[in-house]
Amino acid sequence: MISQNSIAQVFETARVEEVIGDFVQLKKSGSNFKGLSPFSEERSPSFMVSPVKQIWKDFSSGKGGNAVTFLMEHEHFTYPEAIKYLAKKYNIEIEETERTDEEKAQADTRESLYLVSEYANSYFQKILHKTDQGKAIGLSYFKERGFTEETIKKFELGYSLDEWQAFTDDALRKAYKLEFLEQTGLTIVKGEKRFDRFKGRVMFPIHSMSGRILGFGGRILVNDKKAAKYLNSPESEIYHKSKILYGLYHAKQSIAKEDNCYLVEGYTDVIQFHQTGITNVVSSSGTALSPDQIRLINRLTNNITVLFDGDAAGIRASIRGIDLILEQGVNVKICTFPDGEDPDSFSRSNTLEELTAYLEDNAKDFIQFKASLLVKEANNDPIKKAETIREIVNSIAKIPDQIKREIYIQECARIMDISESVLFSTLAQINKKDVQEASKAHVQEQQAFQVVKNEPQAKRKIDVQYELERKIIEILMLYGDRTEQFEDLILQEDEKSGELILEPTKHETRVFEKVYLDLQEDEMQFTNPQFKVLYYSIIEKLNQDESFSTKNFINQLDQESASTVTSILMEDERYNLHDWERNQIIPKEKDQSISQLVSQTILSLRCHLIDKKVAEYKNETLNANADTRSIIEDVKDYVGLKMLLSRKLGKVVG
């Protein structure tokens, strides 16, 4: 268990914008930050972070909360794991009791897989540095690759003994269950036999974006035609290779800072680049590039530079990934190395200045690169040249942004010496074909369901009371501890005319006291159970603590309540996503007239409750045994009160 003192220190120190900034590229938007949702596929930002309130809200998925909630949602951390992650990030020493074997056994499957992977990572590092076999074989290999001791430790490289079940036996002795060893792929089970998957391999741990161990890559060091040179962990509940990029954990901050990501093929390419001094680099780990991997990068930058070695056949095979990057709306450049060189070897034999200069001088726009590559293959053959042009236009057609498409068409026309009109016509044909195919699929889908009659969609009815109760929670959270001057309208008889008039009287009080007393006066109760609990919790906190903190209050709530409060507080930030101010539309600030907002909300709630009461009375008149005369008198009283409140409301709004 983590001590409450440690938890409080973590909450006090952690900054939500810094924590989320490690996973999402955030851009300033007024007093807030905005970015692309890490929980859904999108090209327009719907993710908002408020440094003032220390909360975040994702309008595309509806999720929200504080720094801990983000880690639990995004990284699937448990609450203690999120606290530990933040403690590590901010160098906070946490107090906790040792986890017992019984507690390990009670952990859920997912957490158990993480625990097994973390143990394996420590074990492989220990074997590399502390055993004769590890030092003679594994460490020697890494040193031959030019890796320094610092680099080896940074990437937590290790070695698996060349023995059939050395790791498995050690893990079982440490009380780790065989079922989790098998599920992570660390152990292969065949009947009564069990084997270490990575026997005799140097080990590359694969981290999540937050640094958790998800799986491993292992390289064999002997010439064995029957064994794969590289072997990765199999798919598991925590390891999905199409959704992971090797090195992203170490590269995420520099990718955001440099606003560019270098994409390479292998583990050693990433490590050697880091050692040379270029850290904004990741690898697809030998797998075909996937949309999920591109979206991971796109959260941090909109620019990818793909690095290819000098192998022409490999370049031709890998170039398909460029179209995939373009489809995601990401800018892409390509840089190739001289024949016989790859990112690993080239960075090993060049200084940081030489490597940086080479990348800057040789990174080509994808049109230039694709044109130069395909023109060589065409070899002045008109038919092949036409096919080359069509292939380039096919790539351009995948770009979502219309302006970019037009600019690339102009560039292609210049490079390939062909008229723009022909290229635009070809582009239109490709787009038309895509539209027709999409339309055909849509028609087929409709025909499959044409027996079902389309009923007109009923308009969504607004729950007025829900919205007003929600507004009261928002007012209390934002302004509850403020002292404001309120103007109450008292009904009095005019001395001259004898008519009833509304006479204003002013007084100062704290906002939460005004809200509480006004609701108590009419014995108004919240109908939403969650709002009701939150209301009394906020009132109690404001009554006890003069220095009320929204951040501290949210941190003490359960996850569901924290998410609800976050949604309420961040609702108005939705408008900031559209850059209204840039279009000279300035939304009114709520705190310009807090007293007016409070009075208006409470009066609106009172009017709404009167309407509900009148409706109830009208239904009672349908009952044959009802005292109709008495009901009519009550209705008259309520209608009169409604008119009075409406006059008050009109004056407040006006």
What number of H helices and E strands is found in the chain?
29, 18
Convert the pLDDT of each residue in 165-199 to its tens digit.
999 999 999 999 999 999 999 999 998 899 999 99
Q: Are 366 and 322 in contact (CB under 8 A)?
A: yes
pLDDT at residue 129 is higher than 90: yes
pLDDT tier, 398 (very low <50, low <70, confident <90, very high otherwise) = confident
Top-confidence residue, 650 or 257:
257
What's the CATH number for 107-239?
3.90.980.10
Task: Report the distance separating Cα 292 and Cα 266, nearest Å.
Answer: 18
**Torsions phi, psi of 188, nearest 5?**
-100, 125
How many residues are there in the chain? 654
Residue 216 has what DSSP assignment? Answer: E
Taking only the tens place, the pLDDT of each residue in 4-41 is 888 888 888 999 999 999 888 898 888 889 998 888 87
Supply the DSSP symbol for 38: S
pLDDT at 586 over 60: no
Angle between helices 320-327 and 366-378 (to 10 degrees): 150
Domain ranges of the chain: 4-89, 107-239, 248-432, 464-571+590-653
Residue 190 DSSP code? E
What tokens appear for 193 in the block? 């036999």
316 with 334: CB under 8 angstroms? no
The separation between the first and the last C-alpha atoms of the chain, rounded to the nearest angstrom, is 56
Q: Which helix (H) or strand (E) holds 64?
A: strand 64-65
Query: 454 — phi, psi (to 5°)?
Result: -75, 110
The pLDDT tens digits of the residues spanning 248-270 come to 999 998 998 899 999 998 999 99
Assign 581 a pLDDT band (cuts: 50, 70, 90): very low
Question: 3-state SS of 386-409?
Answer: HHHHHHHHHHHHCCCCHHHHHHHH
The half-sphere exposure of 628 on its side-chain side, counting CA atoms within 13 A, is 5
pLDDT tens sequence across 36-62: 888 887 778 889 998 888 889 888 888
Q: What is the mean pLDDT of residues 300-326?
A: 79
Note whether 181 and 173 are within 8 A (CB): no
Q: Average pLDDT for residues 134-140, to the nearest whole number?
A: 96
- Note the pLDDT of residue 30: 81
Q: pLDDT averaged over the chain? A: 82
Average pLDDT over residues 104-129: 87
CB 292 within 8 A of CB 244: no
Q: What is the pLDDT of residue 618?
A: 67
141: left (phi over 0), alpha (psi -120 to 50) or beta: alpha
- CATH of span 248-432: 3.40.1360.10
What confidence score (pLDDT) does residue 455 get?
A: 54
CA dihedral 420, 423, 429, 435 (to 10 degrees): -80
- Within 99-207, residue ranges assigned H as helices are 101-106, 109-130, 132-133, 140-144, 149-154, 166-173, 178-183
- Interatomic CA distance for residues 78 and 115, integer angstroms: 12
Mean pLDDT along residues 515-521: 79
Q: Please, which pLDDT band fits residue 345 given cuts at 50, 70 and 90?
A: very high
Return the minimum-mean-pLDDT range out of 220-229, 285-294, 521-530, 624-633. Answer: 624-633
Q: Does the structure show a pLDDT above 70 at 438?
A: no
> Which of 308, 365, 360 minimizes the C-alpha distance to 333?
365
The pLDDT of residue 523? 64
4-89: what fold?
Answer: DNA Primase; Chain A (3.90.580)
pTM: 0.69
Is the pLDDT score of 99 beyond 80? no
Please check whether the two domains, 107-239 and 248-432, share a CATH topology: no
| CA 504 – CA 144 distance, rounded (Å) | 86
- Please, are residues 82 and 68 in contact by the beta-carbon 8 Å criterion? yes
**E strands within 285-363?**
303-308, 331-336
Average pLDDT for 109-131: 94
CB atoms within 10 A of CB 74: 20
More confident residue, 515 or 124: 124
Please check the confidence at residue 401 and state whether its pLDDT lies above 90: no
**Cα separation values, 231 from 72, 426, 451, Å:** 30, 44, 52
Torsion of CA 624, 629, 634, 636, to 10 degrees: 120
